[in-house]
Structure 1
Amino acid sequence: MNTVSAPSTLPTFTATPELTDALQRALVDVTALSLVTKQIHWNVVGPNFRDIHLGLDEVVAIARDASDTIAERMRAVNAVPDARPDTVSDSTLPTAPAELTIVADAVTYEVAAINAVVTTLRGIHKVVDETDAMSSGIIEDVTLKLEQQAWFLSAQNYTA
C-alpha cells in the first residue's frame, strides 16, 4: 500500500499526541452514535413512532456533522482521523438492539447512547481546551447539541 508523506510546509499548529487522542476518541463516539441511532430509527415501533423516528434523524444529523467537523479539524492540525469500522467498534456506546424496539425502550437506549458520547466529550474537554482552544469550541458545541437531544428524547418517557 502506498502512503503519502507530509507536505514540506505543515500547518502552523500541529496537534500534540494528547490532543490527537482526545479528538480521535470524540470522532469514534460520534461516528458510532450516528450508526446506532440509525439502527434504532429503522426499528422503533409503537405509540408516537413518527415523532421519535423523526427526532432520531435529528440526532443522526448532529452526529454526522460532528464527525465531519472533528475529522476535518484533525486534518487541519496535522492529525490523521480514523473512523474505519474496526476502530468505531471500540466506542463507549452501549450495544444497540438488533430487533424491533418499542418506543419507550428505544428512547431509553438512545438517551444512554447520547449520554455515553457526552461523557466522552466532557472527559476530553479539559485536555482539548488546554491544548487547543479552537478545537475546544467544537467539542463544546457538539456537547450542547447532544445534551439538548437527550433532554428532548427523555421527555418522551416521563409520566405524570
Structure 2
Amino acid sequence: MTDTSSSRLAGPKPAFRASEELAGRLQRVHVDLIDLHIQGKQAHWNVVGRNFRDLHLQLDEIIEAARTFSDDLAERMRALYVTPDGRAAAVAEQSSLPAFPSGEVDTSETVDLIVERLYAVCGTIREVHDAVDEADPTTADLFHSFLEKLEQFAWMVGAENRVAEKTEPRPVHE
C-alpha cells in the first residue's frame, strides 16, 4: 500500500503560474490603472469652468472603470500566483502617468490632462500586450476590454475641446 497522505497535503498544482517577467508587466498596468483612478478623482474634485457638470459626471465614469479594471487585473494576478502591489508608495514609484496638478483646473485643461492620462495607460497596455498575449492569452483578453473602453473615453472626453471640421485631436506624446 502506498502512502499518499503527503501528496494530499500538498494540494493540486496550479495549471499556470506567471513568470517574473509576466508579473512585472501586469504590475505596470495595475499601478497605471490605480493612478488613473486617483488622478481622475483629483480632477473630479477640482475641475471648474464651462461644462463643469458634464465633465464632472464623465470623470465619475472613468474613475469607476479604472477602479474596476485595476481590481479585475489584481484578481487575475492572484489567480496566476502574483501578488499585486497597489500601495500608495508603489503606485507613486511605478506609475508611468505624469502627476496631476494641484488646485483648481479649468475644464478645458482638465480635458487635455485626462485624455493624456487615458492614452498613457493605453500606451502601457499596448507596450506590454504582445508579451502578455504570448505568455497568457486570457490576461491579454482582459487588456483588450480595457483598451476598448479607455480609448472610447479618450475620444469622448477629447471631443470636448474640438471644433467640428476645424481642429484635429490633440497629439499624444508617448
TM range (shorter): over 0.9
User: Root-mean-square deviation (CA), in Å?
Assistant: 1.1
1:4 paired residue number: none
Aligned with residue 151 of structure 1, among 136, 150, 155: 155
Instruction: Note the 1:50-65 alignment, pairs <5 A.
Output: 50-65=53-68
Structure 2 residues without counterparts, runs of 5 or longer? 1-9, 165-174
2:7 paired residue number: none
Q: Is the 8 A contact 1:11 1:76 kept in 2?
A: no
The number of residue pairs the alignment matches comes to: 154
Aligned with residue 26 of structure 2, among 12, 23, 26: 23
Structure 1 residues without counterparts, runs of 5 or longer? 1-6
2:115 paired residue number: 111
Between 1 and 2, higher relative CO (CA 8 Å, sep ≥ 6) is seen in 1
2:72 paired residue number: 69
How many angstroms does 1:10 deviate by? 4.1
Deviations 1:123-157 (A, max 9, x none): 01001100000000011110111000000000000
Q: Counterpart of 2:155 in structure 1: which amino acid? A: W
Distance in 2 separating the partners of 1:77 and 1:11: 8
* TM-score relative to the length of structure 2: 0.86
Q: Counterpart of 2:24 in structure 1: which amino acid? A: D
Percent identity, please. Answer: 43
How many angstroms does 1:16 deviate by? 1.1
Aligned partner of residue 159 in structure 1, secondary structure: coil
Distance in 2 separating the partners of 1:8 and 1:50: 54
Deviation beyond 6 Å, 4+ runs, structure 1: none
Q: Counterpart of 2:152 in structure 1: which amino acid? A: Q
Instruction: Note the 1:40-51 alignment, pairs <5 A.
Output: 40-51=43-54
Q: Is the 8 A contact 1:28 1:91 kept in 2?
A: yes
Aligned with residue 138 of structure 2, among 125, 134, 137: 134
Aligned partner of residue 142 in structure 2, secondary structure: helix
How many angstroms does 1:18 deviate by? 1.5
* TM-score relative to the length of structure 1: 0.93
